[in-house]
């Protein structure tokens, strides 16, 4: 038994197996049961194959455009990819230590770059950049289809305790706290946002441990003692028993789910709509359980992810799609289901979303026909992703109209299906008034809006500290879109991750937004917190924030003025 001392941020004692999240590097480390080891290794191999394919394509195009000299950089990466010291070593690590694939790849590359640091030759030392590049690509490919820590954590089989370097509130708010019983972080103080959240959720937590993530092994038995501010490794039977009493004391499960659907209402009676973002039809149950009024965003491209995420592979046929859409509409009735057409990112570079659909009319038509046929079975809203200009939207509506004629849907019935545009590119935000004329609703996708406005790749851990939802540019664009929608008298919602951070959500309400869509797990907490707030207070805070010029000032203002989770 070993004790690490930190700050008790939320009371109670829980025990379980450790899962380690390196949030800064976006990599989760957990123990893989023996039966899953081969599957984990297969994921590494699949990532290597996809990486090889991508590198070969890049190599060929560089070769054509810029000549063999430059292309040789990618030859070198291709060679490294097949070097036994890399991918093979990561696979061995999974087999020997039973750690997950992403962690094994991460560690292998970390070890290797350490070796490069000690090389005297400057040219060779510089190759470290290539290694990091290759590692980044392998990790990115491993993450496909399991992009967020929440999704990764869904893979966990048993109740666990989360050990993280840091845990931003937006991530914490999305975690399924019935599976993750408590957490401990290297970072943080008692006023750490996430600590406040933990108290509100009734999840025991210790923060400010400084180096727990480097001491704790994945799968190790640990106990979080939030009463005494300790993280106990290999806890005694007595501590585990004490933890069990806490878990079984008849308290409602953390996260207070199983709620009745309906708007969240602030103290002074302002009604706010909380819908769910989902990726799989199975998530519908979680959305209902969380009390979502409807589905604000169904990312339909997940239907296409049969292994490699590309067009042509495993494209669901019309019948299959119709069945799935119909089932979702019936399952959520009478609540609306917003189905976003495929938002595939074919080869990066911006060829994605509606642009790509318009380039692939056969695939697009098949989806539109399936959607329109299903529309007879519930309350469907169709949402087009990545709209960049009005013309694209006009073209899409035209295709929708002809698909309706093909499946025998009358003009009247077609008019009952609201058609919306995602506003997630700065060009769309700046022309939201024009787009609003062609749409029945707008949905602000801040995940992409942030990355394209701040020029920060959302999937690249190296620039993650520059990814700032509270940047004044983002807040201004959100307000601009809200105004455009209200002038056009159409609804507008916001479905980016930022809405699942309760402080940010409160600000967005103050800025005038009334409809949100978020991951189901974040809904109960959002509802509870909004119910404790007054809309005029939020408006006053938002007015002050809107005049501020730095993210730091804005964050400080929110922390000072929006008090969350006092009841816990």
User: CB of residue 301 vs Mg ion: minimum separation in angstroms?
Assistant: 10
d(C-alpha 13, C-alpha 228), whole Å: 9
d(C-alpha 426, C-alpha 430), whole Å: 6
Binding-site string for ligand PEP from residue 295 to residue 314, where x marks contact by CB under 6 A and - marks none: --x-x---------------
User: CB of residue 16 vs ligand PEP: minimum separation in angstroms?
Assistant: 30
User: CB of residue 547 vs ligand PEP: minimum separation in angstroms?
Assistant: 26
Q: Is position 296 an interface residue for Mg ion (rule: CB under 5 A)? A: no
DSSP string, 107-127: HHHHHHHHHHHT---HHHHHT
Question: Which of 275, 424, 501, 515 is close enough to bind ligand PEP by CB under 6 A?
Answer: 424
- Closer of 448 and 497 to Mg ion (Cβ): 448
Size of the site for Mg ion (CB under 5 A): 3
Choose among ligand PEP, Mg ion, none what residue 383 binds, the Cβ cut-off being 5 to 8 Å by kind.
Answer: none
d(C-alpha 77, C-alpha 493), whole Å: 43
Question: Which of 301, 448, 501, 515 is close enough to bind Mg ion by CB under 5 A?
Answer: 448
Site for ligand PEP in 485-514 (CB under 6 A): 495-496
d(C-alpha 40, C-alpha 146), whole Å: 13
Binding-site string for ligand PEP from residue 326 to residue 355, where x marks contact by CB under 6 A and - marks none: -----------------x------------
User: CB of residue 386 vs ligand PEP: minimum separation in angstroms?
Assistant: 8
Q: Is position 446 an interface residue for ligand PEP (rule: CB under 6 A)? A: yes
Return the half-sphere exposure (C-beta side, CA atoms, 13 A cut-off) of residue 424.
Answer: 25
User: CB of residue 566 vs ligand PEP: minimum separation in angstroms?
Assistant: 30
Q: Is position 445 an interface residue for Mg ion (rule: CB under 5 A)? A: yes
485 Cβ neighbours under 8 A, 6+ residues apart: 432, 436, 441, 442, 491, 492
The single residue listed with the structure tokens 């994921």 is 43
- Cα 284-285-286 angle, rounded to 5 deg: 90
Q: Is position 186 an interface residue for Mg ion (rule: CB under 5 A)? A: no
Single out the catalytic residue among 193, 211, 246, 471: 193
350 Cβ neighbours under 8 A, 6+ residues apart: none
The answer to whether 53 is a known catalytic residue is no
Write the CA distances from 10 to 52, 158, 229, 446, integer angstroms.
46, 22, 9, 31
- Closer of 185 and 446 to ligand PEP (Cβ): 446
The end-to-end CA distance of the chain, in Å, is 31
The answer to whether 193 is a known catalytic residue is yes
Residue ranges in contact with ligand PEP by CB under 6 A: 297, 299, 343, 424, 445-448, 495-496
By annotation, the residues acting in catalysis are 193, 495
């Amino acid at each position: 038994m070993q004790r690490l001392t930190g700050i008790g941020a939320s009371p109670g004692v829980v025990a379980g197996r450790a899962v380690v999240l390196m949030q800064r590097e976006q990599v989760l480390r957990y123990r893989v049961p023996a039966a899953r080891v081969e599957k984990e290794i297969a994921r590494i191999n699949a990532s290597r194959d996809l990486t090889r394919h991508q590198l070969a394509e890049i190599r060929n195009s560089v070769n054509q455009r810029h000549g063999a000299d430059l292309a040789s950089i990618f030859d070198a990466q291709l060679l490294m990819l097949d070097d036994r010291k890399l991918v093979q070593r990561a696979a061995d690590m999974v087999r020997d230590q039973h750690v997950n694939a992403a962690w094994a790849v991460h560690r292998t590359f970390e070890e290797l770059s350490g070796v490069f640091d000690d090389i005297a030759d400057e040219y060779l030392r510089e190759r470290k950049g290539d290694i990091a590049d290759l590692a980044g690509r392998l990790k990115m490919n491993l993450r496909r289809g399991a992009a967020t820590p929440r999704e990764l954590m869904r893979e966990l089989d048993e109740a666990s305790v989360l050990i993280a370097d840091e845990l931003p509130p937006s991530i914490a708010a999305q975690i399924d706290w019935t599976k993750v019983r408590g957490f401990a972080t290297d970072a943080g103080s008692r006023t750490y946002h996430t600590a406040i959240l933990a108290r509100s959720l009734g999840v025991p937590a210790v923060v400010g441990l400084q180096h727990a993530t480097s001491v704790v092994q994945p799968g190790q038995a640990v106990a979080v003692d939030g009463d005494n501010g300790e993280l106990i490794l290999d806890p005694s039977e007595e501590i585990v028993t004490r933890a069990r009493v806490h878990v079984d004391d008849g308290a409602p499960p953390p996260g207070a789910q199983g709620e009745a659907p309906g708007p969240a209402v602030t103290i002074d009676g302002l009604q706010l709509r909380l819908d769910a973002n989902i990726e799989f039809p199975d998530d519908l149950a979680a959305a209902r359980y969380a009390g979502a009024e409807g589905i604000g965003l169904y990312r339909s491209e997940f239907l296409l992810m049969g292994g490699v995420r590309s067009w042509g592979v495993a494209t669901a046929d019309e019948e299959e799609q119709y069945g799935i859409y119909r089932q979702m509409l019936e399952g959520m009735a009478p609540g609306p289901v917003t189905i976003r057409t495929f938002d595939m990112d074919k080869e990066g570079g911006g060829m994605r979303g509606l642009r790509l659909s318009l380039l692939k009319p056969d695939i697009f038509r098949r989806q539109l026909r399936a959607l329109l046929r299903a529309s007879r079975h519930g309350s469907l809203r169709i949402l087009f992703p990545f709209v960049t200009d009005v013309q694209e939207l006009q073209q899409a509506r035209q295709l929708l109209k002809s698909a309706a004629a093909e499946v025998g849907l009358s003009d009247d019935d077609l008019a009952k299906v609201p058609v919306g545009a995602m506003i997630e590119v700065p060009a769309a935000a700046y022309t939201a008034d024009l787009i609003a004329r062609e749409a029945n609703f707008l949905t602000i996708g801040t995940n992409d809006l942030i990355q394209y406005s701040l020029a920060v790749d959302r999937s690249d851990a190296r620039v993650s500290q520059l990814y700032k939802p509270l940047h004044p540019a983002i807040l201004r664009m959100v307000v601009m879109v809200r105004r455009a929608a209200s002038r056009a008298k159409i609804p507008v919602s916001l479905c980016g991750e930022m809405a699942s951070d309760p402080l940010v959500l409160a600000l967005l309400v103050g800025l005038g937004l009334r409809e949100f869509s978020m991951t189901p797990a974040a809904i109960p907490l959002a509802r509870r917190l909004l119910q404790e707030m007054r809309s005029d207070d939020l408006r006053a805070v938002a007015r002050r924030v809107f005049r501020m010029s730095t993210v730091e000032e804005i964050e400080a203002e929110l922390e000072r003025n929006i008090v969350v989770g006092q009841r816990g």
